[in-house]
Chains A and B, each alone.
Chain A
Amino acid sequence: MVELEHVSKYYGVTRALEDVTCRIQKGEIVGFLGPNGAGKSTAMKIITTYTAPSRGKARVGGLDVLERPLDVRRMIGYLPETVPLYDDMLVREYLEFMGQARHLNGKLKSRLNWVVEACGLESVLQRKISVLSKGFKQRTCLAQALIHDPEVLILDEPTSGLDPLQIIGIRQLIRNLAHEKTIILSTHILSEVANVADRILVVNQGRLVADGSFDDLIDQVSDKNSIYLAIRGTRKELQDGLKGIQEVRETAADSDTPRGVSGMHVYYSEKIDMVKKLNELIRERGWEVVEFHRERLSLEDSFIRLTRADSGKPDSGASEKKKGGGR
């Protein structure tokens, strides 16, 4: 449904996007993830035809954004990051204007009623936009993006400024829409991407550094297999026991355990059944197990690793946290 083919964008000498290629299928919810200035918004602006790629091709529904911009725009609903609204208009006037500008004609009334209900705007419909809270402004802008029932929805920071209940509501709305629409969203809230998106595209310094599901991303950056084991006993006792397993590559003590309990992160690189080996060790030593589980990187850790690795900076933050025993 949405394709970027070797897309680059330069603002003067500043690189905003560099050779980005991706294909987003119909019905997918894709999350753009990346630090500030990574190029997420630029990619969205290219898809919406607001800006043109310096190199490469961008297509929506098979149509080139430069050759058929008006047809592309008909397919797209867009919520920009800045939540642009005409402050001097009433919410109803604004939505009617956007509906007319989207050529809804006879469908305007029914679509207006639908977005007002879907975005929870009944109570502010006759209010001036300038007096709305940030949350209502966000929802009004989301409503204009939905009013023409677009095939592709581009949402730049859709839940920014909303309270937790509103965030849950908008996430649910996005999930409901996903069955029939292609949704591309960008956010700084990592948990939001993990909760809503089927697929995550990580952009850093203008380049696409990862593309896959939440699990794929974590697997991509996890260079070590890791198990956490905590027993009632001393650290030395635990360390001595682990030394007996040849395949253990590295251990890191957990300093944040209750008195009388020792914990250790056990890293191993070979493809062996480490759980079985540790179980045998526990039985052999007669340890009382307090905690025993496989460890996975969090999305935050994966994000830091992906973006730092790409920037050429050391991955200190992620590994320190791991070795410090963050769980």
Chain B
Amino acid sequence: MKDIAIIFNREFRAYFYSPIAYVFSIIFIVLNASIYMFHFFFFGNADMRSFFSSLPLVLGLIFIPAISMRLWSEEKKLGTIELLLTLPMKTESIVLGKFLASLLFYLVALAGTLSIPILLLFLGRPDFGPIFGGYFGAVLLGAYFLSVGIFISSFFSDQIVSLIITSLVCGFLTLIGWQYVPMVIDGWIPGLGEFLYNYVGVTRHFNDIERGVIDMKSIVFFLTFTALFIYLNAKFLERRKY
């Protein structure tokens, strides 16, 4: 536990050493707020539906890859991975420390969007059930995408390559959860699209939670996949020795 805290401390601080983190956080907040404001003024609804419906794509394509890209790629490029993996710490502790630091950074950025529900509170009478659900889903979704991004960054020493591959994978996981994409895939290979939609795509599970329906299946889905990718990351780094 102490080892996780030591790595977490270094990694979380490292985000604030670089301007990239600030830039991406501002982009994340401004982009989400802009998309939301467009819908808000166009349709005049005092809810956050439009915010949460675009969130998986914004997270998967831009923000999460930008947070996760440096976590292992930078260590590989600087060669610090050699010292890190020869410290008297379990690889799992190092991976968890990095994951939790990136998760906290994401949560800080996500907290920046809380200005939207606060604004709604003054402008109308929003139903806070779906808003709480949406934020809860955003935490689970962010954690899942981050575990995928960290795992991918352990393969590459180039941060840009990590970013692009993570974008592609998270983008795929999002799109496969949209109804018409599996239909197209089913047209090529019958049954595959439906399988991917049910068991791999994140959007359906995120939408369930975002609607305020706290379905245990969806929660278990996100937690299981997050744990799986953290585990795979540690195992991959151990296997690298051989």
Q: Which residues of A are in contact with B by a Cβ distance under 8 Å?
A: 45, 48-52, 54, 70-71, 73-74, 76, 78, 80, 82-89, 97-98, 100-103, 144
Contact = CB atoms under 8 A, between A and B. Distances in A.
Contacts of A98: 83, 87
Nearest to A145: B83
Contacts of A78: 82-83, 86
Contacts of A74: 88
Interface residues of chain B: helix, strand, loop or mixed (majority): helix
B18 A88 contact: yes
A260 B70 CA distance: 71
Interface residues of chain A: helix, strand, loop or mixed (majority): loop
Contacts of B81: 84
B78 A48 contact: no
* Contact-residue bracket for chain B: 20 to 34
B78 A50 contact: no
Most buried by B among A49, A51, A86: A86
B198 interface: no
A73 B86 contact: yes
Contact of A82 (B7, B14, B82): B82
Contacts of B241: 49-52
Contacts of A48: 86
Contacts of B3: 101
B24 to A, nearest CB: 16
B160 to A, nearest CB: 18
Given A84-B79, A85-B80, 5 more contacts: A50-B82, A50-B86, A54-B242, A78-B83, A102-B87
B88 A100 contact: no
B80 A84 contact: yes
Contacts of B7: 101
6 contacts: A49-B241, A52-B241, A70-B90, A73-B86, A86-B14, A101-B3
Contacts of A100: 6
B13 to A, nearest CB: 8
Interface in B1-46: 2-3, 6-7, 9-10, 14, 17-18
B17 A88 contact: yes
Contacts of B78: 84-87
B85 interface: yes
A50 B80 contact: no
